[in-house]
Structure 1
Amino acid sequence: MKEFVLLTLLAVSVSAAPASATAAADAGRQWLAGDHHVHSEWSVDWDRSTTPPTPIRGGDSSYSRSRNAAQARDFGLSWMVHTDHGGPGHSAVSRDHAYPALVQARVDVPEVIQFNGMEFDVPAGEHASLIIAPGPAERDQLVTAERDFSRSEPLQGSRDTEQQMQAALAHLQRLNPAPLMFINHPSRTATGLGQWGEVTPEELRGWHAAAPNVLVGMEGAPGHQAIRAERGLYRNADAPTLGGYDQMTTQVGGVWDQMLADGVRFWITANSDSHVNLRDGGRDYDPGEYSKTYAWARPEAEDILDALRNGRMFIVTGDLIDALELRVTGDDVTGVPGDAVTLSVTQMMQVEVRVRQPTRPNARGHRPPLQRIELIVGGRVGDGTLQMQRRGFDVATWAREGDWTVARWSLPVPPRGGFVRVRGNSTGDVEAQMDERGEDPWDDLWFYSNPVFVNVVDTARR
């Protein structure tokens, strides 16, 4: 595992390429910030005194899709996904109202690449962001998926079964081009640390296995970060967010790391879940105001989807950093997030991370300090046990090279292969702390990369 990934986290308009062995494939790519979970006035409420129930425009958000796209642009996003809630017969709302509003928003805010999508009501689960590839079939593909498979669509009866979810995934997997799905706020219904609610680790693995090209990840940092009483709307005091992130992501050696150690290509994202902004009396931030998912892509819808599908992304809150390079280096090999590199177990693995902080204040008007960077390496040992290795860096142990903060680590290649990832924060905390009621989210900021997988020559896993 002498090869580490280069991830260069740049502001939306900056184009600095990672040191990748695939320079030709990376031509024209840059870090493009986005948000895949945004609600509008077409997240309707329902008048259930009528049969069928009558949609009430603006029931869950008063914002138009054009307004949301303009806010995304103003907060530095290059792409976003419109993801309104479903409900009884909502597929007709998607067809007749939400989709025309998307078409208009693309005209009104051409600077932002906008995807058709929805917050899919997962049968036998909770919610997921469903992202449809742009094209002539984008309206009908979403309407069909919602009409035929969404848990909340039927006017009568129930679809809340694992069989229905498997049917939905099979349908989505057959579409060309393939859509994407990310599980939203996976631990929001948990009752404690490691005590799962409507989404379990086994379900994540099973859903991904059923549609590995479609269901590719989960929210590492959920939205609804503005409300201090229940950060992320994780309402159980025994199972809150930690540093604004979901426990499945924050726990070193936890759910996400277990999946990565088994070679599961499963990624994390961050988003706003914007309904109503805090300044308007709501509990949310606008798209890009607090959370960003950076995709390494050309400014084209197809390549952005390819980046999200293949893990070429990192996530950050509060604009703690605006560029990140992560490299795992071996003998003439280098990978990027989402890649797998093959190394000899006789090698030492050289890991380097470089991060850059913005020169401009964030949306709060602050330039938050970077207090800690942590490199994390995981893999299975001989008996199948997960072994995690961690090394933290601070101002006393990292280096400064121009605008970059640099940390390096040399260590043996994991004997059965594994993965490398990096995270950092503004607090100096070694562990992400359980979020408490009333705390200021701007005082507890983190970034996380997606992983680089490491295979070994004699026992390659993939």
Structure 2
Amino acid sequence: MLVLSACSLPARAAEAARGWQPGDHHVHSEWSVDWDRSTNPPTPVPGGDSRYTRTRNAQVAQGNGLVWMVHTDHGGPGHSMVNRDRAWPALQEARRAVPGLIQFYGMEFDVPAAEHASLVIAPGPDEREQLFAIERDYSRGEPIPPATRDEEQQMLDALAYMRTLSPLPLMFINHPSRTASGFGSWGEVEPRELRAWHDAAPRVLVGMEGAPGHQGAGVHRGLYRDANAPTMGGFDQMTAQVGGVWDAMLAEGRHFWITATSDSHVNVRDGGRDFDPGQYSKTYVWARPEAGDILDGLRDGRMFAVTGDLVDALDLQVHGAGNDRATMGGTLALAAGAPMRITLKVRQPKAANHQGQHPALRHVELIVGEADKDGTPKMRTRRFEAPQFQREGDWQVVSWTLPAPAQGGFVRARGSSTGEAVPLPDVAGEDPWQDLWFYSNPVFVENVAVSR
């Protein structure tokens, strides 16, 4: 349990060295190859899904203010050897060329019986072989046709293997509702699968994209092509709907986080549907600017997701009696019904965003959830308009005091540049730069009995 008043002096020193580190865990390069299927096995053709080199992506990411980035190319038949023998040397070249950017090795893993996930490998002497073994033995796209690997159990087997590795890899499910056919009508990723995967390796598979990439797609934002199941304010319906899938998982006590990524393949200025890493979407991690602490922050939920540089710092705290408080990813113990004070502080950047705008923050919303008697999430919310914000230097602040959930629960927050009380379904042709949101990750509240 993270209760800040109980931190030791070394822990306080480590905390003091942390700051908000922006990054992106879903970026493609020329090693998201096409395949010449006239040969057996198929021959990889570099540049199939993206024309950009890893060095170019790293340079652009750093230029857009990112501190960290994950290289995540698609798989395919025999792609484990492409990653090992060609993409890996390209990563080393990018690390040499852009030493100021923390660059993680990874891939967009083809999930058996589902779709895609960002797989992040911890830097170290074994990272090349660790990814090679995972992709070779477990990726859905790896077998040479006509062989297949597309059973639900195979994903559970993959996670069972990954949880034995040291250091542990990390995984986020990408664009979870992209294949849905309606609100609550799931496609290749179902809530029961998210739960099963999280149960199988809760310290490996730790979350999902809250805001998918491809935000520059003019017709289908995020490439969510079914008009009955679009993104909502650029965020996936599982995240955007209060009381929806994400809230249901949090109400169960699951430490399951959300992020925002570019899913960069080809930039809109080059005729594509994407923004560059850091150009539109960012995941900010509270960490020291070093790979290990950034991975810990991603694994432990010390992060928030934002589009269009609406905010660049966020402090969500839940306070109990005295000095006891917890922040994102942490847990605060409170007696049922005890006063619980929520404070949210956000900071907006002084510099213009990459569209040359200084977007206004029109409103924020504090969201409290708990499990109802039937297990479904019971939600309470409070919305604050901009005139209600308090100013503390560069920070805009709101607070709300209410009774702690009787059986424990969670607190999260979001805000927007729009006047929409809740994010509306996205429509063809809308300008993503006029529809900006941030979402925090949760703080948990644990119920404790009152001693008599």
TM-score by length of structure 1 reads: 0.94
Counterpart CA distance in 2 for 1:198 and 1:5 is 40
Matches within 5 A, 1:190-229: 190-229=180-219
Number of the residue aligned with 1:304? 294
Cα distance per residue 1:339-372 (max 9 Å; x no partner):
1110112421111111111111000000001001
Shift in Å, 1:323: 1.3
- Answer yes or no: is 1:142 the counterpart of 2:131: yes
- Answer yes or no: is 1:90 the counterpart of 2:79: yes
Number of the residue aligned with 2:162? 172
Q: Is the 8 A contact 2:368 2:380 kept in 1?
A: yes
**Of the two structures, which has the highest relative contact order with CA contacts closer than 8 Å and spacing of 6 or more?**
1
Counterpart CA distance in 1 for 2:300 and 2:393 is 31
Q: What SS does structure 2 have at the residue aligned with 1:26?
A: helix
Counterpart CA distance in 2 for 1:122 and 1:317 is 27
Change (3 A) 1:105 1:70: same
Counterpart CA distance in 1 for 2:16 and 2:312 is 20
Number of the residue aligned with 1:271? 261
- Answer yes or no: is 1:386 the counterpart of 2:386: no
CA RMSD, Structure 1 to Structure 2 (Å): 1.7
Number of the residue aligned with 1:125? 114
Number of the residue aligned with 1:260? 250
Q: Is the 8 A contact 1:4 1:420 kept in 2?
A: no
- Answer yes or no: is 1:63 the counterpart of 2:52: yes
Cα distance per residue 1:382-430 (max 9 Å; x no partner):
4534210000001232212222111110100011110000000000211
Number of the residue aligned with 2:226? 236
Q: Is the 8 A contact 1:335 1:452 kept in 2?
A: yes
Shift in Å, 1:22: 4.9
Counterpart CA distance in 2 for 1:50 and 1:256 is 44
Unaligned runs of 5+ in 1: 7-17
Counterpart CA distance in 2 for 1:376 and 1:343 is 17
Shift in Å, 1:169: 0.6
Deviates more, 1:77-86 or 1:25-34: 25-34
Counterpart CA distance in 2 for 1:163 and 1:380 is 29
Counterpart CA distance in 2 for 1:262 and 1:276 is 39
Number of the residue aligned with 1:158? 148
- Answer yes or no: is 1:114 the counterpart of 2:103: yes
Output the amino acid matched with 2:212: P
Number of the residue aligned with 2:93? 104
Which of 46, 49, 64 is the equivalent residue of 2:38?
Answer: 49
TM-score by length of structure 2 reads: 0.96
Instruction: Determine what percentage of the aligned residue pairs are the same residue.
Output: 63
Q: Is the 8 A contact 2:23 2:67 kept in 1?
A: yes
Number of matched residues? 445
Output the amino acid matched with 1:109: V
Output the amino acid matched with 2:65: G
Q: What SS does structure 2 have at the residue aligned with 1:320?
A: coil
- Answer yes or no: is 1:361 the counterpart of 2:338: no
Which of 388, 392, 405 is the equivalent residue of 1:401?
Answer: 392
Shift in Å, 1:167: 1.0
Number of the residue aligned with 1:333? 324
Counterpart CA distance in 2 for 1:207 and 1:359 is 41
- Answer yes or no: is 1:442 the counterpart of 2:429: no
Q: What SS does structure 2 have at the residue aligned with 1:287?
A: coil
Matches within 5 A, 1:444-459: 444-458=435-449
Which of 5, 17, 29 is the equivalent residue of 1:28?
Answer: 17
Number of the residue aligned with 2:335? 344
Q: What SS does structure 1 have at the residue aligned with 2:410?
A: strand
Shift in Å, 1:258: 0.4
Number of the residue aligned with 1:377? 368
Q: Is the 8 A contact 1:21 1:335 kept in 2?
A: no
Q: What SS does structure 1 have at the residue aligned with 2:71?
A: strand
Runs of 4+ in 1 over 3 A off after TM superposition: 3-6, 381-385
Q: Is the 8 A contact 2:3 2:330 kept in 1?
A: no
Which of 171, 175, 186 is the equivalent residue of 2:176?
Answer: 186
Number of the residue aligned with 2:277? 287
Output the amino acid matched with 1:84: D
